[in-house]
Chain A
């Protein structure tokens, strides 16, 4: 991606790439919008990626 102004019609910015941000971005793409997902860390996934298992299925969260 180059410097300067990016212009795309029908785009949405999602700030924060945790489970909420990722889900919102995925849904928006499916709804027909271009998404910029902005995350301050080097990876997306947020806290959920740190979790071992989740209730009730205790399946792997990744």
Chain B
């Protein structure tokens, strides 16, 4: 199993839509892969490109922004 690609994804979620949607997904018990680690922001407008770059530097395989 260890050679299976298990990406680590960093997500920036907008409090009003994507974070809310992620909560709703939970309420409905939708199942999705557990590879995402999230950071809540009040709006994706807050996401400075520098954050994305920093995420990759810190070893993220992918960055997700949802807003």
- List residues of A whose CB falls within 8 A of some B CB: 58-60
Contact = CB atoms under 8 A, between A and B. Distances in A.
Interface string B12-27: 0000000000001001
A60 B24 CA distance: 9
Contacts of A59: 24, 27
A60 B28 CA distance: 8
A59 B23 CA distance: 10
Interface of B: 24, 27-28
Q: Chain B's interface: helix, strand, loop or mixed, by majority?
A: helix
A interface, over-half SS: strand
Nearest to A53: B28
Contacts of A58: 28
A60 B23 CA distance: 11
Nearest to B27: A60
Contacts of B27: 59-60
Contacts of A60: 27
Nearest to B28: A58
4 contacts: A58-B28, A59-B24, A59-B27, A60-B27
Contacts of B28: 58
Nearest to A60: B27
